[in-house]
Copies of this chain bind each other. A is one copy, B any other.
């Protein structure tokens, strides 16, 4: 038995290859599946199983691509009622892979159909060696049960039940192979560590310490982090079976004038994936800013309207490629063009540009005194804001600006603040689309503001 773990940052997504001597399974694959094909080839393994713990809310998975490219069989939870070819599994089912036995248990909670796979390596013994627990149990956290409108209470109770009546009955030494780590929005306080054991989590996992279900339910359903818009859409896509990546369009280069024309189409949106500083310097009026260096996929899923033709602005061909991959991972499949020559070419074509200025921590600190009317708008998450903020800052999370922008005065100067500088530029782009014009970005964000010594320690 061999276990390989593949981690994507930003989505903080772990997938796995579980291999015997000549065949292997891929558990919860990412959508761009070359990495599994390469690993299997280098180890002389045939991919025969594609195994899904659930129908993922936060990303579009690669099960269809893998099955098509390898001929592998897809295993998916019975309750998911998937419409693609697959073997449906549920409590009590077993999958055999050479010497290994995968015992299916239903573990609803994060999603209603969620199952986990307990692995027994029969070549070594009959006790479980590990469990693919998907989004049920994380290192230091559990899967959030609040993503299905109106069902949070029900799902939280189911989660509590399957955690304590199923997973916690596994032996201490049993390894856990979760789907996410710190950075994912499928939980609220995951650790950075990517794997753990039943025994260690039994002792120290905070939600697991809440044995009383009546305390557990509010703890897991109230004051939860906001859920991005695509969390609903991705589940539907995964259940239906996503389009094969090889059938998707790849963006073609487009001259500035053609790009401008294309941007006028009602289905089109302009997405600028350059750094926040480049966007601030000059951008196409109306464009969305999502810096590739921030949590690009999550914000792309969150703030970009679905089913649009995306016109991309990026700095290099590599960045185009990277942006397209991330967009597909959250279900934005139609990136049809990129701006040939980038913004310098746009400017040389004499086309209109917009600007958002930067302010350094030092200069903002001075402005707090000299400019009493300037609004400081903090767009971080609630938990970040609560850990410390500039005294007079107004707080509206970035994605909420789409509905709460009316709370702000368009005529005032607004300094946008986030952790590092790039989420604030997303916010700026949303506000500019809504007619705000006097916006400045705190470059370096609260990280820089703190590093400069301007935050009092509480």
The answer to whether B358 and A353 have CB atoms under 8 Å apart is: yes
The answer to whether A125 and B451 have CB atoms under 8 Å apart is: no
- Distance in Å: Cβ of A270 to nearest Cβ of chain B: 16
Query: Given A125-B204, A172-B173, A191-B1, A444–B197 Cβ distance below 8 Å?
Result: no
* B-contact bits for A166-204, CB 8 A (1 contact / 0 none): 000001111100000000000000011111111110111
Stretch at the interface among A51-59, A273-281, A324-332: A273-281
Bound-state Cα–Cα, A361 to B347, Å: 8
The answer to whether A360 and B352 have CB atoms under 8 Å apart is: yes
Determine if A93 is an interface residue (Cβ-Cβ < 8 Å).
no
| Chain B residues within an 8 Å CB radius of A191 | 1, 124
The answer to whether A2 and B192 have CB atoms under 8 Å apart is: yes
Query: Given A315-B315, A358-B281, A172–B194 Cβ distance below 8 Å?
Result: no
**Which residues of A326-374 are within 8 A (CB) of B?**
340-341, 343-344, 346-353, 355, 357-358, 360-363
* B-contact bits for A251-289, CB 8 A (1 contact / 0 none): 001000000000000000000000111101110000000
Kindly state the interface size class of chain A when it binds its partner: 35 or more
| Chain B residues within an 8 Å CB radius of A253 | 41
The answer to whether B344 and A277 have CB atoms under 8 Å apart is: yes
Determine if A306 is an interface residue (Cβ-Cβ < 8 Å).
no
| Chain B residues within an 8 Å CB radius of A453 | 350
Determine if A421 is an interface residue (Cβ-Cβ < 8 Å).
yes
The answer to whether B194 and A197 have CB atoms under 8 Å apart is: no
| Chain B residues within an 8 Å CB radius of A197 | 172-175, 197
Determine if A87 is an interface residue (Cβ-Cβ < 8 Å).
no
**Which residues of A435-458 are within 8 A (CB) of B?**
443-445, 447-454
The answer to whether A172 and B199 have CB atoms under 8 Å apart is: yes
Among B175, B346, B357, point to the contact of A355 (Cβ < 8 A).
B357
Among B121, B203, B360, point to the contact of A125 (Cβ < 8 A).
B203
Determine if A236 is an interface residue (Cβ-Cβ < 8 Å).
no
Determine if A293 is an interface residue (Cβ-Cβ < 8 Å).
yes
- Distance in Å: Cβ of A254 to nearest Cβ of chain B: 12
| Chain B residues within an 8 Å CB radius of A350 | 361-362, 444, 447-454
Determine if A228 is an interface residue (Cβ-Cβ < 8 Å).
no
Bound-state Cα–Cα, A129 to B203, Å: 11
| Chain B residues within an 8 Å CB radius of A316 | 316
How often does this chain occur in the complex, in copies? 4
| Chain B residues within an 8 Å CB radius of A448 | 347-351
- Distance in Å: Cβ of A363 to nearest Cβ of chain B: 8
| Chain B residues within an 8 Å CB radius of A346 | 444
Bound-state Cα–Cα, A173 to B348, Å: 39
Determine if A140 is an interface residue (Cβ-Cβ < 8 Å).
yes
Bound-state Cα–Cα, A200 to B130, Å: 10
* B-contact bits for A191-223, CB 8 A (1 contact / 0 none): 111111111101110000000000000000000
Bound-state Cα–Cα, A378 to B163, Å: 55
**Which residues of A43-89 are within 8 A (CB) of B?**
44
**23 interchain pairs (CB within 8 A)?**
A121-B193, A127-B200, A173-B200, A173-B202, A175-B175, A197-B197, A278-B278, A278-B281, A280-B281, A281-B443, A282-B443, A315-B315, A316-B316, A344-B422, A346-B444, A347-B360, A347-B421, A347-B443, A347-B444, A347-B448, A350-B448, A350-B452, A352-B362
Minimum-distance CB pairs A-B, first 10: A173-B199, A347-B444, A350-B452, A350-B451, A277-B281, A172-B172, A173-B197, A350-B448, A347-B443, A2-B192
Known contacts A1-B193, A352-B362, then 10 further A-B pairs from the complex at CB < 8 Å, ordered by chain A residue: A2-B192, A2-B193, A129-B193, A129-B196, A172-B173, A172-B197, A277-B344, A347-B444, A347-B445, A351-B448
Q: Which residues of A contact B (CB under 8 A)?
A: 1-3, 19, 41, 44, 121, 124-125, 127, 129, 140, 171-175, 191-200, 202-204, 253, 275-278, 280-282, 293, 315-316, 340-341, 343-344, 346-353, 355, 357-358, 360-363, 420-422, 443-445, 447-454
